[in-house]
Amino acid sequence: MTRQPGLARRAEQLLGSAVVATAPVAGGDVSIATKLRLGNGTTALMKTMTQAPPGFFECEAWGLRWLAEATAEGGVRVPEVLAVEADCLVLAWVEPGRPSGDDAAALGRSLAATHAAGAPSYGAGRDGFIGRLPLPQGPTDTWAEFHARRRLLPFVRLAVDRGALEPAAAAVVDGLAARIGELVPEEPPSRLHGDLWNGNVLWDTDGRAALVDPAAHGGHRETDLAMLTLFGLPHLPRTLDAYAEVAPLADGWQDRIGLFQLFPLLVHACLFGGGYGARATAIARRYR
């Protein structure tokens, strides 16, 4: 590890501890991640971004702290927020390891506990971000209204505007959004991570999971499970089976996975183009 003077000084201002060394961390798609070795013997992760959207890191810190409230009740761990400002976020370091099947099952049980902590409503008290894209989070009375108005429809429009979705395909998704309440059983709002793909699940050297980069909100718990299924997870069947053992899902949840994967596919279409728009369209047509 070397030492980046400017970044180290900024971290020292926030943490009140000397930064002995810094090192880049690979894998970040949105923020620049840097490992900090501190003079007090601890290690931290600092996330920075050039011209971060207003409220970007504050929103991430809020989501982590909200999810952390469930940890005492057996919910999934999240890294402690050490400092947050408009230009950066500093988190406790998670030393990476590899999970076993038993570790994956433990994640399923703890994720169920996080969901069971609940939320005041569908949505959140503040808007957020998914990647760098603004994410509307305004509360609604029902999950169907939230998913249609805050998830599917805004990103359908954005995908069309960016040329990632044809207008005819958008009409198919619009039609599905209007019927989503008929296809998904209503549940009380769960405490969700909201962007739970494999890259946002960290495993420490003891095999314990920690969740990062949330788009936290109150929603339908099948949202998180479908996201894990979309991009995979080590020993995923163990996670899903353990979850269902302690928090059974409504009949037919496996058949609804595609419905919940439609939103992240639309987001990817907006961000990356490629074949994501076609995948989203194919899913929407499957449920016509």
State the helix-helix crossing angle for 222-231 and 236-246, rounded to 10 degrees. Answer: 170
- Tell me the CA distances in angstroms from 13 to 80, 196, 257, one per residue in order: 18, 32, 45
Could you confirm whether 141 is annotated as catalytic?
no
- Give strand pairing partners of 84: 89
Cα–Cα distance for residue pair 177/147, rounded to 1 Å: 8
State the helix-helix crossing angle for 276-286 and 253-272, rounded to 10 degrees. Answer: 150
Would you call 187 helix, strand, or coil by DSSP?
coil
Tokens of 74: 């057996």
Cα–Cα distance for residue pair 171/174, rounded to 1 Å: 5
Cα–Cα distance for residue pair 181/242, rounded to 1 Å: 27
- Choose the catalytic residue: 29, 87, 195, 204: 195
Would you call 219 helix, strand, or coil by DSSP?
strand
- How many residues in the chain? 288
Cα–Cα distance for residue pair 215/63, rounded to 1 Å: 7
Residue with tokens 């429009």: 157
User: Cβ atoms within 10 A of the Cβ of 86, count?
Assistant: 11
- Give strand pairing partners of 190: 219
- List residues with catalytic annotation: 195
